[in-house]
Amino acid sequence: MKHIKYILILGCILLGACSKFLDQTPQGVISGDDLNSPDNVEKMVTAAYAALGNDHYTAPYSSMWPYGNIRSGDAYKGGDGAGDISDFHFYETFSLNRIDNGSTDLLWFRLYVCIGRVNDALARLNAIGEDVLPTKVTRQAEMRFLRGHYYFLLKILFKYVPYIDETMPKESYDTISNNTYTNDALWTKIADDFRFAAGNLPETQAEIGRVNRSAAKAYLAKTLLYQAYKQNESNAVTSIDATLLQQVNSLCDEVIASGKYQLAADYSANFLPSGDNGKESVFAIQYSKGDGTPKGRLDYGHALDYPMNQDYGCCGFHSPSNNLVNAFKTDVNGLPLFTTFNDTNVSSEADFHTNSFDPRLDHTVAIPGHPYKYDPAFIYQRSWARAPEVYGSYLSLKEAVLPGDATFQKIPPFMSSSKNWAVIRYADVLLFKAEALIELGRQNEALPLINQLRTRAAASTGLLKQAGGAFTSNYKMGTYQPGINCTWTQDFARQAMRWERRLEFAMEGYRFFDLVRWGIAAEYLNAYFTVEKTRSAHLQDAKFQKGRDEYLPVPLNQINFSKGLYHQNTGW
């Protein structure tokens, strides 16, 4: 039919006839102006939301695991050796990464496609009146929130990116440099979107998944927390802005005072479909299945992360590191072993009972001999790992669901689910506030916030049992009690808060960006590599170059497309 249509058109041109045929609007095509009706503008807003879930394992951005976990020492790439998605191996080793890494270019492209959808929706919203679209201002605020989210990801990944909003004509895009704004000014542009959202969103939305005022305040607090750590052009942290920290603290207070959120009683609720949109969820990506699309709106970003057994099938990526597993060890008081945790690896089942652990270990890591995803009849085996001789036998748990779960769906040869993926949890808000308070020298006020999380973790053992009812590991979890089991100085509080962030959000995608924000990435990771090279052969080439590897390079393709307008990041 396609060829017949082309022949007919060509014949009309040659004969000088068929003018009526050529004047017809092609079926399946809609003009830009036709999209400006109230109903269609709402659909463009929905399309911008849908971009949140347009993820893919080749360069995921809803899950940040290739950039935030495997670059942080919390995870190994996994899969079938270094050559299996080698671009991710280059991320893990740093020294092998290059400016022509195709996954980096794809990541940049996909995030700008998301921004393009938002800007298109905003331009149409700006041009329509509230008399015909009463939701106009709310929808504008929602779009500003989403644009802030996408630019936040670009900012922590690349540092300097071209900032394009809905007021800029497409014809001008090739004149916009990634160095138009300073590092600080670009953070302010992102914060401005969240400020607008916080000022114009309702406190509650009738439709699940739409962002609200408190979510905007929480994301604004996160943005200002990052902005507070001032960096020079070598990516070194030179100071911390107390004024911004005070704003972070106030925003977190407002989110807390809203009464909308609280910690889930059991930590597991954050990683089970039954906990989707629960009281701890501040901003989450909404996935779906059975929604009229061929395979549903599934979490493709984690499609590689399931075990290699007959119930799943592929592909064994995203493997927790020995260092991370060791970090869950606790001392006789149930506190972290800050300096000695990694002296020896947990290497056998007996080690999980002779040592004591933070319960969050078995919520986070699939361990041979332990129930997989809380099912005591479904025991994870070493053989389920893809390449245990390379990456060990652990796998990530939080993103997974059981094969019999209603949200599970195979997308051969991969698999995924329609379970939500949280971007900001209430636990984040508590630790944003704790971090700001500690850096302001008000560490005593941060103590109860950190202890809230530790108390919740200690109580989250109900699902961590074997078939006979015994606990899966030996759990011992305590709170910080100054003068009894610790001395709560600013330095100690900072160490405790950073440790808490690591364990609370382990394998959730943001650990590396914490290290960069704190200005400790180079020292931390090179110390990690020094030990890991004696234990993991795939890291023999690994080295973090200070002043370069804090950010990914601007992709070579993008520099070429810009005809040299874009500036490459420091050190690349």
d(CA 532, CA 244): 37
* Whole-prediction pTM: 0.93
User: Does residue 382 lie within any of the structural domains?
Assistant: yes
Question: In this structure, are residues 198 and 283 in contact, taking their beta carbons and an 8 Å threshold?
Answer: no
Low-confidence ranges of the chain (pLDDT < 70): 1-34
SS3 158: helix
Provide the token pair at 112: 């700008």
Give me the residues paired with residue 414 across strands: 411
Residue 148 CA to residue 223 CA, distance in Å, equals 9
Please indicate, yes or no, if residue 354 is contained in any of the structural domains. yes
**Residue 101 CA from chain centroid, whole number:** 20
Q: Which of 376, 264, 366 is nearest to 320 (CA)?
A: 366
How large is the angle between the packed helices 242-257 and 213-228, nearest 10 degrees?
Answer: 160
Q: Does the residue 497 lie in any domain? A: yes
C-alpha distance from residue 396 to each of 38, 372, 381, 411 (Å): 44, 10, 14, 19
Q: How far apart are CA 556 and CA 504, in angstroms?
A: 36
What pLDDT, on a 0 to 100 scale, did the predictor assign at position 27? 52
Tokens of 492: 């100690």
DSSP E strands, 63-219: 75-78
Whether residue 475 lies inside any domain: the answer is yes
Does the residue 481 lie in any domain? Answer: yes
Q: Are 503 and 360 in contact (CB under 8 A)?
A: yes
Q: Where are the beta strands (DSSP E) in 241-295?
A: 281-285
pLDDT at 292: 86
Cis peptide before 315 (omega within 30 of 0): yes
Instruction: Determine the Cα–Cα distance for residues 27 and 540; give it in Å rounded to an integer.
Output: 57
At residue 270, the pLDDT reads: 98
Q: Are 510 and 390 in contact (CB under 8 A)?
A: no
Any domain includes 482:
yes
Note every long-range contact of 480-486, with CB atoms under 8 Å and residues 24 or more positions apart, other chains counting. Answer: 480/335, 480/447, 480/450, 480/451, 480/454, 482/447, 485/333, 485/335, 486/335
Answer yes or no: is 448 within a domain.
yes
Query: Considering the domain boundaries, does residue 391 fall inside one?
Result: yes
- Cα dist from 386 to 232, 314, 318, 375, 382, whole Å: 42, 8, 11, 21, 9
**Other residues' Cβ atoms within 10 Å of the Cβ of residue 468:** 6
- Using CA atoms, how far apart are residues 144 and 167, in angstroms rounded to an integer? 13
Range of the domain at 383: 268-279+318-410+434-509
Picking from 307, 308, 312, 274, the residue whose alpha carbon sits closest to that of residue 409 is: 312
DSSP assignments along 21-53, one per residue:
HHTSPPTT---TGGGGSHHHHHHHHHHHHHGGG
- Residues in CB range of 172: below 8 A, 6 or more apart: none
Tally of structural domains, the chain: 1
Q: What is the DSSP letter of 509?
A: S
